[in-house]
Chains A and B, each alone.
Chain A
């Protein structure tokens, strides 16, 4: 009887010790930790593709396929985004009706700053993307905003990305619970399945980078926004980050959100933050 009681007591004690040891880990796993998330995210890709140089992930499908990479390198001699780059440079330098320019709206005159976007605006309590900041600049100077999915916006962001090429992505999450919530919301959006095809962003760009989906080779999620905006041969034109999100949603048969919806701003924040340290490569060119 005494032995059975001791055995029972021992088992209960062991269970309590096990619970005490495991419960902090459960709490830690659910607590938002962007630094740990970014590290895990990058390690996942570095381990999945040990032969890909870390800075090469920003080149999307070309980092996954040598034949495609060689074709792209040849194409880069006369890049298809060049016309957009020229247009963007001219637009950027052309004064608004009030005499001011885009340079007046951005730090360092807007040159070499792409790596800092999107950022969390503590005043507004929301994520501000480069596309949004450009339109706010236009509106503040009495100009009509551009469409987020058309050529003018793509040209402007192409020029700003080009002046930042090679600079490591440097997204900050300020000590503000709203910023952390935006990061978490972006993460949730990225992993959530949607549309009749029941796909999430991660379904293609985490689970299957390098694999083909019909005729296309899927890009890895790591560094996917570093190359934005992109010229897509499929579109026969340039595409902004907004256009990319909208198109991805449509392809899964989900009704896209309005460009620059909070969810899109947050997912851009998440994806850019986890790519911190990888170089800006935009504007890019994709099949």
Chain B
């Protein structure tokens, strides 16, 4: 029992940083990363509509002060943008497999 209590406290303290609410700085960092990836996708002319709408969702949530939701949406937008960049890159050669010859 004596040993369990400090261990439980240690565990709680260890989890605490991941459970804390996102703040404006978190959102700004996540949004900047998402925006940069989205810009790259657009320059490749492979932007997805869902990247654009998810970025808009992030901004709207941040404007309303909900930084948890805003940060999560920005991270999702970044993931979508990165997936579209991967698509653009892989399709540079992959399209040939579809070609009728």
Q: Which residue of A lies closest to B98 (CB)?
A: A191
Q: Is A44 within 8 A of B100, CB to CB?
A: yes
Q: A193-B94, A253-B49 given as contacts; is B42 within 8 A of A198 (CB)? A: no
B71: Cβ under 8 A from any A Cβ: no
Alpha-carbon distance between A200 and B91 when the two chains are bound, in angstroms: 10
* Mask of A180-217 contacts with B, CB within 8 angstroms, 1/0: 00000001100111111010101100110000000000
Contact A200 B95 (CB under 8 A): yes
Count B-side interface residues using an 8 Å CB cutoff. Answer: 20
Shortest CB–CB separation between residue B53 and chain A, in angstroms? Answer: 9
Q: Are A253 and B95 in contact (CB under 8 A)?
A: no
Q: Residue of B at shortest CB range from A207?
A: B98
B95 close to A191 (CB less than 8 A)? yes
A37-B100, A255-B42 provided; 5 other pairs, C-beta below 8 A?
A194-B91, A195-B49, A196-B48, A196-B80, A250-B49
| 10 cross-chain pairs, A with B, having the tightest CB-CB distances, nearest first | A255-B47, A191-B95, A191-B98, A192-B95, A44-B100, A196-B48, A253-B49, A192-B91, A196-B50, A202-B98
Q: Which residue of A lies closest to B50 (CB)?
A: A196
Q: Does A133 sit within 8 A of B, measured CB to CB?
A: no
Q: Does B96 contact A (CB under 8 A)?
A: yes
Binding site secondary structure of chain B = helix
In the bound complex, do residue A40 and residue B87 qualify as a contact, i.e. CB atoms below 8 Å apart?
Answer: no
Residues of chain B at the chain A interface (Cβ within 8 Å): 42, 45-50, 52, 80, 83-84, 87, 91, 94-96, 98-101
A92 CB within 8 Å of chain B: no
Q: Which residue of chain B lies nearest to A261 when distances are taken between CB atoms in the complex? A: B45
Name the residue on B nearest A195 (C-beta).
B48
B47 touches A41 (CB 8 A): no
In the complex, chain A residues 220-267 whose Cβ is within 8 Å of any chain B Cβ: 250, 253-255, 257, 263
CB distance from B5 to the nearest CB of A (A): 49
A191→B99 contact, CB < 8 A: yes
| Residue with the greatest number of chain B CB neighbours at <10 A, chosen from A37, A40, A195, A263 | A195
* A20 at the B interface (CB under 8 A): no
On chain A, the residues within 8 Å of B101 by CB distance are 29, 40
**Residues A6-55 near B (CB distance < 8 A):** 29, 37, 40-41, 44
A194 touches B100 (CB 8 A): no
Q: Is the CB of B49 within 8 A of A255?
A: yes
Nearest CB of B to A202, in Å: 5
Asked if residues B98 and A254 are in contact (CB atoms below 8 Å), the reply is no
**In the complex the two chains form, what is the Cα distance from A187 to B100 in whole Å?**
10
Chain A residue nearest to B53 in the complex (CB): A253
**Complex Cα–Cα for A31 and B84 (A):** 29
Q: A193-B87, A254-B48 are in contact. Are A206 and B95 (CB under 8 A)?
A: no
With A and B bound together, what is the CA distance between A29 and B94 in angstroms? 15
Contact of B45 among A37, A206, A250, A263 (CB under 8 A): A263
Give the distance in Å from the alpha carbon of A200 to the alpha carbon of B52 in the complex: 20
Q: Are A188 and B46 in contact (CB under 8 A)?
A: no
Q: Which of B83, B91, B98 has the most CB of A within 10 A?
A: B98
Q: Out of A37, A40, A187, A193, name the residue touching B91 (CB < 8 Å).
A: A193
B87 adjacent to A194 (CB under 8 Å): yes
Chain B nearest CB from A253 CB (Å) reads 5
On whether the beta carbons of B100 and A206 are closer than 8 Å, the reply is yes
Residue of B nearest to A193 (CB): B91
